Chain A
Amino acid sequence: AQSVTQLDSQVPVFEEAPVELRCNYSSSVSVYLFWYVQYPNQGLQLLLKYLSGSTLVKGINGFEAEFNKSQTSFHLRKPSVHISDTAEYFCAVIRSGGYQKVTFGIGTKLQVIP
């Protein structure tokens, strides 16, 4: 079975500063990786995904993530955050091959400070 660890439960950052949200996973087989964003009282929205190919993945709203197989990490980054980025962010992993259940991290709350 796979697992996901989001190392920070909350990350405060000033507006226009860069941010990195950390995600580590463990799996004995190949995986696909995702980042989702959740705004208050809403469902989760897909930010980006890594399936294969280039390890640097660009998503919506200026976010990007880098897959690092040796460190089993998939950290999310944005060079300059906006107030509107205040939300909760979830990392998720799914084993490759046919139907597999998704494993979500417990989430990281990003608070952008004006």
Chain B
Amino acid sequence: SQTIHQWPATLVQPVGSPLSLECTVEGTSNPNLYWYRQAAGRGLQLLFYSVGIGQISSEVPQNLSASRPQDRQFILSSKKLLLSDSGFYLCAWSGRDTLGGQPQHFGDGTRLSIL
């Protein structure tokens, strides 16, 4: 069966520090991968998605970046964190289907607090 791992579960970082959140998927090949940020009362905001190694699409301009160095690895990074980067970050994957309709499967999230 497929599993998704996301770490760390919680992170407290000072303003201006770098960030690296990692997500890996097991039990499937060539998944679509996603990074979301969730703010209270605002639902899920799609930050990045990837349909293949090295292929990253950014949804919103920000000081975050994403990379996909391996097929089942997705990394969210920042060189200098801002207070506004605080939030709950979720990684997700979905299978590939030419007809669409593949549900997304989520990791347990990372609670990021910027001080």
- How far does the Cβ of B34 sit from chain A's closest Cβ, in whole Å? 8
Q: State A73–B48 Cα separation when bound (angstroms).
A: 28
State whether B32 touches A43 (Cβ < 8 A). Answer: no
- How far does the Cβ of B28 sit from chain A's closest Cβ, in whole Å? 15
Q: A90-B44, A105-B43 given as contacts; is B103 within 8 A of A100 (CB)? A: no
Task: Of the listed stretches A19-27, A76-84, A91-99, name the one at the interface; the rest are far from the partner chain.
Answer: A91-99
- How far does the Cβ of A30 sit from chain B's closest Cβ, in whole Å? 9
Q: Which of A41, A51, A106 contacts B101 (CB 8 A)?
A: A51
State whether B100 touches A98 (Cβ < 8 A). Answer: yes
State whether A49 touches B41 (Cβ < 8 A). Answer: no
Interface size on A, residues (CB 8 A): 27
Q: State A102–B93 Cα separation when bound (angstroms).
A: 12
Interface size on B, as a range, is 20 to 34
Q: Which of B42, B43, B101, B106 contacts A43 (CB 8 A)?
A: B106
A11 within 8 A of B: no
State whether A43 touches B108 (Cβ < 8 A). Answer: yes
Q: A41-B111, A99-B51 given as contacts; is B100 within 8 A of A46 (CB)? A: no
Q: State A58–B99 Cα separation when bound (angstroms).
A: 22
State whether A32 touches B108 (Cβ < 8 A). Answer: no
Q: A90-B44, A106-B41 given as contacts; is B90 within 8 A of A44 (CB)? A: yes
A72 within 8 A of B: no
Q: State A34–B106 Cα separation when bound (angstroms).
A: 14
State whether A46 touches B105 (Cβ < 8 A). Answer: yes
B19 within 8 A of A: no
Most chain A CB within 10 A, of B6, B46, B103, B108, is at B103
